């Protein structure tokens, strides 16, 4: 093909493609348009803001439907983790004595229940230890 009058080396088609690629590199990144000033997606408000921006960009046709679906799904996954994040933050704010009490309660084995006796019998058999008649799960 012939060189473009507006470009020293490229044909008109490739000169136009180069111009488009230069416009895209100088344009604000799409992530910045979606997130805005948000730097942390660990709150419901921040996640809602980002998804709202995604909605606007999709409606304007600046994001493909496929990319919008993917980002929407990732937003849903992030939203599902928010309750666990809040629990972790609550736990971090507690004093040491409460944490110790919680650990003791959670780690204390439940004894003298049928399920506990059965589990002990299974472990003993798995380890090859003999089981006495008194510890039998049937008793």
pLDDT at 135: 52
φ, ψ (nearest 5 deg) of residue 96: -65, -35
- Percent of the chain with pLDDT strictly greater than 90: 22
Phi-psi region of 126 (alpha: psi -120 to 50; beta: other; left: phi over 0): alpha
Distance CA(81)–CA(64), nearest Å, equals 26
pLDDT in tens, 65-116: 999 999 999 999 999 998 888 777 776 777 777 767 766 666 666 677 777 7
Q: Regarding predicted confidence, which is higher, 96 or 26?
A: 96
**Those residues with Cβ within 8 angstroms of residue 30's Cβ, 6 or more apart along the chain or in another chain:** 57, 62, 63
Domain boundaries, the chain: 1-28, 36-95, 109-139
| CB atoms inside a 10 Å sphere around CB 61 | 8
Report if pTM > 0.85.
no
pLDDT category, 136, cuts 50, 70, 90? Answer: low
pLDDT at 133: 47
Rg of the chain (C-alpha set): 31
């Amino acid at each position: 093909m012939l060189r473009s009058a507006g470009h020293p080396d490229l044909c008109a088609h490739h000169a136009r493609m180069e111009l488009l690629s230069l416009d895209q590199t100088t344009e604000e990144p799409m992530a910045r348009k979606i997130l805005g000033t948000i730097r942390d997606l660990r709150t419901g408000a921040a996640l809602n803001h980002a998804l709202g921006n995604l909605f606007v960009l999709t409606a304007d046709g600046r994001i493909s439907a496929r990319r919008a679906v993917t980002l929407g799904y990732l937003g849903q996954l992030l939203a599902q983790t928010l309750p666990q994040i809040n629990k972790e933050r609550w736990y971090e704010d507690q004093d040491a004595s409460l944490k110790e009490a919680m650990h003791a309660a959670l780690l204390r084995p439940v004894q003298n229940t049928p399920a506990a006796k059965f589990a002990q019998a299974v472990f003993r058999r798995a380890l090859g230890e003999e089981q006495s008649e008194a510890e039998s799960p049937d008793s």
